[in-house]
A and B are shown apart, each in its own frame.
Chain A
Amino acid sequence: MATDQMTVQASGKGPQPTVKPAPRRSLPVLDRRYLPVLGTFVVLVLMLVIGGTRYENFLSGRVMANLFINNSFLIVVAVGMTFVILTGGIDLSVGAVVALSTCISAWMFLHGWDAIITIPASILVGTLIGWIVGVMVHVFEIQPFIATLAAMFLARGLCYVVAPESIPITDATIVKLSETRWEIVDNFAVTPSGVIALSVVLVAFVTLHYTRFGRTVYAIGGNEQSARLMGLPVARTKVLVYVISGTCAGLGGLLFAVFARSGYSLTGVGMELDAIAAVVIGGTLLTGGSGFVLGSVLGVLVLGLIQTIITFEGTLSSWWTKIVIGALLLVFVILQRLLVVRRR
């Protein structure tokens, strides 16, 4: 009797015709994944056009060069943040780590350390904090938000201990780094900081797209459980993205030290929000698994341009920067959301 029941069920399945539709598309004309970045690029171009038509000298080499120079540290920090966000995590500690790195380098220079030791040390401080975060997130299963928040308090607290007052940096290497400008054309100069930032972007791009580690980052962001069951080194990768983000923040701190030539504990307050905003405006999904490091660079440039335009406008008060960034964030987030909904 039971047998009948079982067989009927399956014989019912036997002769059924298949009605499954074929794969919906073979080769997309433009991969959907590039749409958000393209959007950012369009915004950037629009801003350049608007700025160029409204203000004299806006598109001059000097202004454009300054855009890169003033934001080189943010580019580096945003690159690190991109790694973390691609895995679906978040790193709130970067602003404080930037501050800690500048404070430590200022403190070490003050106490007579040589640049050859100080510079690596200030970067490695970031690496160390990133590693601590990674261990907290991975080994102790503390949510990234809380772990990096703790790291933020930790780094900020250490800043006050190291440099309660602003410490000027007079080290020859740093001074030289900050004063060097390689002029290319029409006042468009490149600084060592800019070169470092661009190299970081390049290395990050290759790492994300041409190494197994990079692809694992995307896989974890897509579906962490699957990545684990596929036998990918999820644990190592998750720790490593925080190490990368910390290192980038450390390097960002060094670049900031070069930029400001002082170490101060209140440096980079809220920089993590700028970095997150840049990454999101650059088209990376906060849920992870989708986005590009080049998008984050565009995001930083968009933020920088807003600042530049408001400076050029002259009559606009500084708080408009925040309002415009917020509004832009809103627009991008809603657009991304629509894109995701349409994909379903």
Chain B
Amino acid sequence: MTGLAQLTRHRLFWPIVALFVLLLASTLKHHTFIEVTIRDGHLYGGPIDILRRSSILLLVALGMTLVIATRGIDLSVGAVMAIAGAVTLSQIADSPDPGSLTTVALAMATGLAVCLVIGVFNGFLVAVLGIQPIIATLVLMTAGRGIAMLITGGQITTVTSAPYKALASGFWLGLPIAALIAGFFFAVVAVVTRRTALGVLIESVGINPVASRLAGVRARTIIWTVYVLCALFACIAGFLQSSNIMAADSNNAGLFIELDAILAVVIGGTSLAGGKFSLTGTLVGVLVITTLTLSITVIGIPVNAVSLFKALVVIVVCLLQSPVVQHKLRARRRKAAPVPVEVPA
């Protein structure tokens, strides 16, 4: 078998190809797209823009990857983002000194605490009561935005607070703070899951929860933990989002981000059926989705058509990754082996 054939079978091959095609198309349209320049001591340019815009989705997708690896799904992340923004901005708006670092830190702590409770609630439904994740998190997906509006009194709460604004718009060491935050958490999760046994235990719980429990793995605790983590990451994403517009918009904050996050995870090669997960894959998936959105505007296609192109990319990538197509591709190279049908014992 040739090296190229092996390469095309790598599960990230097609997503990465898609990423390059998008970057290439954007660059062909605007030759400066790919250039990174230094302006006011900050890095500017298409790639930096992609990184900055990816940060929110990356945070959400990070938690989602862990949840999906345990055979779960978390539909409530968008609503959690809305709640995080609502809680934090309401507190900042009500404080006498919205610009002070302490105020912002305290408000963010409150936001994190509320989201912690949400994560614990989701985890309780799934891990303890044994409710299907999709329906357990649908509860907060539905009610969450209502709760966020309850907090803001149905208004779009706006604030003026320099420290909070820096979260999304600031730069540090020439790089956007938002991207640094997302990158930091990505690195932490990557190191923690792979350098400790957490990763393999999450996978074992995802593949076979009953056997894992009998093997002495704290399956329940692990499942509970990933939902809490997912809610916390969504909370931080909510901070970035609300800092971006400096407003808590309960209706639109993180709207449909759960779908983008799930897509990113799936494009990255983690199966919705749980088990083996790939954080690198998720990162690639996030970059593909963000680049897609950005490229479309750069290339000059109406913004409204974004979802059409998203659909096409998703369909193409999923089809190319699907076992059937992979099998067909392989079959062209050598004689087909029978596809065993699994009969559960």
Contacts and interface: CB of A to CB of B under 8 A. Distances in A.
Interface of A: 90, 92, 136, 139-143, 145-147, 149-154, 156-158, 160-161, 164, 225, 228-229, 265, 273, 276-277, 280, 286-287, 317-323, 325-327, 329-330, 333-334, 337, 341
A196 B144 CA distance: 34
A212 to B, nearest CB: 23
Contact of A337 (B130, B272, B322, B324): B130
Nearest to B272: A143
B318 interface: yes
Interface string B114-138: 0000000000010001111011101
B32 interface: no
B134 A286 contact: yes
B140 interface: yes
7 contacts: A141-B323, A154-B311, A157-B307, A319-B145, A319-B146, A320-B146, A321-B146
Nearest to B343: A225
Interface of B: 73, 125, 129-132, 134-136, 138-147, 149-150, 154, 250, 259, 262-263, 266, 271-273, 302, 304-312, 314-315, 318-319, 322-325, 341-344
A283 B308 CA distance: 34
Contact of B147 (A225, A323, A330): A323
Contacts of A327: 139, 143
A157 B293 CA distance: 13
A153 B308 contact: yes
Given A265-B304, A273-B141, A317 B154 contact: yes
B325 to A, nearest CB: 7
Given A160-B307, A319-B149, A334 B324 contact: no
Contact of B143 (A92, A151, A326): A326
A140 B142 contact: no
Given A149-B259, A319-B146, A323-B150, A154 B308 contact: yes
A88 B118 CA distance: 27
B308 A337 contact: no
Given A287-B132, A337-B130, A161 B308 contact: yes
A157 B310 contact: yes
Contacts of A161: 304-305, 308
A111 B207 CA distance: 54
Contacts of B342: 225
B272 A145 contact: yes
A329 B266 CA distance: 27
B227 to A, nearest CB: 15
Contact of B302 (A160, A229, A273): A160
B85 to A, nearest CB: 15
A163 B327 CA distance: 40
A139 B309 CA distance: 22
Nearest to B344: A225
Nearest to B309: A157
Contacts of B310: 153, 157
Contact of A160 (B134, B305, B322): B305
Nearest to B250: A319
Nearest to B145: A322
A164 B304 contact: yes
Given A141-B324, A150-B315, A319 B343 contact: no
A325 B129 contact: no
B142 A146 contact: no
A341 to B, nearest CB: 8
A325 B138 CA distance: 11
Contacts of B144: 326
B135 A280 contact: yes
A335 to B, nearest CB: 11
A337 B124 CA distance: 13
B65 to A, nearest CB: 15
A130 B302 CA distance: 26
A152 B140 CA distance: 21
Nearest to A340: B130
Nearest to B147: A323
A273 B138 contact: yes
B60 to A, nearest CB: 15
Closest 4 CB pairs of A and B: A326-B143, A157-B308, A322-B146, A160-B304
Q: Which of A90, A145, A150, A334 has the most CB of B within 10 A?
A: A150
B123 to A, nearest CB: 15
B141 A151 contact: no
B134 A90 contact: yes
A301 B149 CA distance: 25
B139 A333 contact: yes
Q: Which of B130, B138, B266, B325 has the most CB of A within 10 A?
A: B138
A319 B304 CA distance: 28
B343 A160 contact: no
B324 A149 contact: no
A330 B139 contact: yes
A158 B308 contact: yes
A229 B343 CA distance: 9
Nearest to A336: B131
A329 B139 contact: yes
Given A149-B262, A153-B311, A160-B308, A142 B146 contact: no
Contact of A140 (B132, B134, B145, B324): B324
Contacts of B325: 140
Contacts of B305: 157, 160-161
Contacts of A323: 143, 146-147, 150
B302 A326 contact: no
A317 B149 contact: yes
Given A146-B262, A152-B311, A319-B146, 8 more contacts: A140-B319, A140-B325, A146-B263, A146-B314, A157-B311, A164-B304, A286-B132, A337-B131
